[in-house]
Amino acid sequence: MSAETVVDAIVIGAGHNGLAAAVELASQGWKVQVVEAKSSAGGAVSTQELTLPGFRHDVCAMNLSSFAGSAFYQRHKEALTRHGLAFVPAEHCFASIFRDHTYLGVSTDLETTLTRIRAISDKDAVAWQAMLDDFQRKAPHLFAVLGSPMPSWSLLKGAWKSWRELGKDGVVELLQLLLATPRDFLDRHFESDSLKAMMAAWGLHVDFTPDTAGGALFPYLESMANQAFGMVIGQGGADTVIRAMTGLLQELGGELLLNAPVQTIEQENGRATGVVLTDGRRLKARKAVIANLNPQLVFGRLVQSPAVPSDYQKKVDAFRPGLGTMMIHLAMDGLPDWKAGADLQRFSYVHLAPDMAMMSRVYAEAAAGLLPAEPVLVVGQGTALDSSRAPEGKHTLWVQVRVLPAQVKGDALGQITAGDWSQLKDAYAERVLDLLESYAPGLRSMILARHIMSPQDLEQFNANLIGGDNLSGSHHLDQNFFFRPVAGYSQYKTPIKDLYLCGASTWPGAGTGAGSGYMLANILAK
């Protein structure tokens, strides 16, 4: 390689949004180079043998439904499949277990779901069917919002189409959904506390308590989309997406540089012109530099402060992470023996979030810097769907602990002394395993090996996950829609000409939908 390489676009960070931008631009004739600090691509979409040989664990992201439903996937589906992308569908998508060790779950067969709901409320079974019918009518309009840059002509055209097709009342209902708290939305539609808790658990995935404004959308979308379309995970691991994207990028003439951390984003006359790597290599970009990074990793670090307007830097500095996450990966002799019934072993996700009161409590404790007494757990049973993830007869368990403080000031139970996560994580993991054991007796005896990742470990694994925030920025209303990540800078632009942001810190936020990378690439290509 020459000392100076010139391409059309340089993408910093080979997470799935950066790769989506690179693939789309390369498919439209741009010469693209992706530079990644780590030794492998993927960012938070990664699969590794974290415990024992042959046990493949999705390090962070496991659910690939939003990727399977994305505009990027629809456009490149044939080529990605040719490069090995494969999904495994879940017939039984997600369930919640309650304190009396009953459960409620959503399966792709509607009558199966309705039968479970009827057992607790005939009225709610009718309401679920009605909500699903209404979702089929509103989903295209919601997905049009999520698939449009903020702001944009396509967003305005989508709003006009919604007004024409749904009428004033329908548009008002959509706006209420976007602004409502989960509790208010769910109370409006259902009577069963169990059904409401099952749906509200999805809010904790994206930093929303039952009483946080703007939090109703995700529980609604996940519940209805799983019922209507199902859930998918990656065959062999979530990294099937990354391997296919990198293969397609290289087929299209794009280049991926690994172990290539960026030291500086270079500028000339107020525009970004390329990057300098820490090893001294200088890469030039004729048209764009795209940072698939949390903005706090870009401004004040890769772009030095004198080049950044002070008001913009102030807003970047104020960009707030969500609360932290712990990941516990278990190599297992079998699936959990759930007290609530053996049928639960068939579900992709099992939520241990039995009521809305504890969801509110765990968030309040974590926000105060306390280790929650009873954390919310998302238990992923990938090998229930895909046996290729573990040796024959063995299993993996993916346990996401939501939510936790980045800096620990104390313990809500008064049992663990405050300190650094490196000192605390084993003790807190024991609390998590005790909780799991209470729902699935004998689970500890089935554990062959474990790998614990504290919030601190997650940030070390991926610098975008500041404080262990797996969302790369809270999704509360003041940091969402037009405000993500900085109000006044739309369509992924920054104050520096030809320097753009994409990734989970930008609209439409976290998840595996590749939305920001794909939308940015299409803006640039036009």
pLDDT tens per residue across span 315-330: 999 999 999 999 999 9
**Dist. CA 282–CA 386, nearest whole Å:** 44
pLDDT digits (tens, 9 = 90+) for 34-54: 999 999 999 999 999 999 999
pLDDT digits (tens, 9 = 90+) for 264-277: 999 999 899 999 99
Joined tokens for residue 70: 């994305």
Taking the CB of residue 422, how many other CB atoms lie within 10 A of it? Answer: 10
pLDDT of residue 1: 41
pLDDT digits (tens, 9 = 90+) for 236-295: 999 999 999 999 999 999 999 999 999 999 999 989 999 999 999 999 999 999 999 999
Surface-to-core class of residue 274, CB atoms within 10 Å of its CB (0-12 exposed, 13-18 middle, 19+ buried): buried
pLDDT of residue 485: 96
pLDDT of residue 109: 98
Largest alpha-carbon pair distance within the chain? 71
pLDDT of residue 162: 78
pLDDT of residue 145: 83
Alpha helix stretches (DSSP H) within 305-385: 310-317, 356-367, 382-385
290: left (phi over 0), alpha (psi -120 to 50) or beta: beta
Give percent above pLDDT 90 in the chain: 88
Taking the CB of residue 172, how many other CB atoms lie within 10 A of it? Answer: 11
Joined tokens for residue 114: 């309705």
Give percent above pLDDT 70 in the chain: 99
Query: Are the C-beta atoms of residues 495 and 309 closer than 8 Å to each other?
Result: yes
pLDDT band at 3 (very low <50, low <70, confident <90, very high): low
Joined tokens for residue 47: 């699969």
Query: Are the C-beta atoms of residues 230 and 66 closer than 8 Å to each other?
Result: no
pLDDT of residue 141: 84
CA distances from 350 to 9, 104, 201, 434, 522 (A): 42, 10, 10, 16, 37
3-state secondary structure of 340: coil
3-state secondary structure of 20: helix
pLDDT digits (tens, 9 = 90+) for 382-392: 999 999 999 99
The mean per-residue pLDDT over the stretch 91-119 comes to: 98
Taking the CB of residue 117, how many other CB atoms lie within 10 A of it? Answer: 23
CA distances from 462 to 45, 167, 449 (A): 10, 45, 23
**Dist. CA 260–CA 279, nearest whole Å:** 8
**Element containing residue 125 per DSSP (H, E):** helix 122-146
Residue linked to tokens 């169990």: 194
Handedness of CA 188, 192, 194, 198 (dihedral sign): negative
pLDDT band at 371 (very low <50, low <70, confident <90, very high): very high
Q: List Cβ neighbours of 333 (8 Å cut-off, separation of 6 or more).
A: 394, 395, 446, 447, 448
pLDDT band at 56 (very low <50, low <70, confident <90, very high): very high
The mean per-residue pLDDT over the stretch 411-421 comes to: 95
Surface-to-core class of residue 357, CB atoms within 10 Å of its CB (0-12 exposed, 13-18 middle, 19+ buried): exposed
Query: Are the C-beta atoms of residues 196 and 205 closer than 8 Å to each other?
Result: no
pLDDT of residue 220: 97
- Judging by DSSP bridges, how do beta strands 32-35 and 4-12 pair with one another? parallel
**Dist. CA 246–CA 43, nearest whole Å:** 13
- Judging by DSSP bridges, how do beta strands 92-97 and 87-90 pair with one another? unpaired
- Looking at the domain that runs over 4-45+70-87+237-319+475-525, which CATH code has it been given? 3.50.50.60
Handedness of CA 25, 27, 31, 36 (dihedral sign): positive
Rounded to 10°, the helix 515-525/16-27 angle is 30
pLDDT band at 2 (very low <50, low <70, confident <90, very high): very low
**Dist. CA 304–CA 141, nearest whole Å:** 41
pLDDT of residue 473: 97
- 274: β partners: 266, 284
**Dist. CA 44–CA 54, nearest whole Å:** 20
pLDDT band at 499 (very low <50, low <70, confident <90, very high): very high
Q: Which residue has the higher pLDDT, 167 or 12?
A: 12
Handedness of CA 336, 341, 344, 345 (dihedral sign): positive
What are the boundaries of each domain within the chain? 4-45+70-87+237-319+475-525, 109-227
pLDDT of residue 4: 72
pLDDT digits (tens, 9 = 90+) for 420-445: 999 999 999 999 999 999 999 999 99
Joined tokens for residue 9: 């676009």
**Dist. CA 399–CA 452, nearest whole Å:** 10
Name the DSSP class of 321. P
- Rounded to 5 degrees, φ, ψ at 140 are -60, -35
The mean per-residue pLDDT over the stretch 460-476 comes to: 97
pLDDT at 195 over 70: yes
- Judging by DSSP bridges, how do beta strands 376-380 and 395-404 pair with one another? antiparallel
Taking the CB of residue 25, how many other CB atoms lie within 10 A of it? Answer: 27
pLDDT at 166 over 60: yes
CA distances from 437 to 8, 304, 399, 411, 452 (A): 54, 50, 13, 21, 17
**Dist. CA 500–CA 481, nearest whole Å:** 17
Average pLDDT, the chain: 95
3-state secondary structure of 323: coil
pLDDT of residue 353: 98
The answer to which of 102-111, 138-147, 181-190, 290-299 has the lowest mean pLDDT is 138-147
The mean per-residue pLDDT over the stretch 122-134 comes to: 97
State pTM to two decimals: 0.95
pLDDT of residue 42: 98
**Dist. CA 495–CA 312, nearest whole Å:** 8
**Dist. CA 253–CA 244, nearest whole Å:** 14
Query: Are the C-beta atoms of residues 15 and 42 closer than 8 Å to each other?
Result: yes
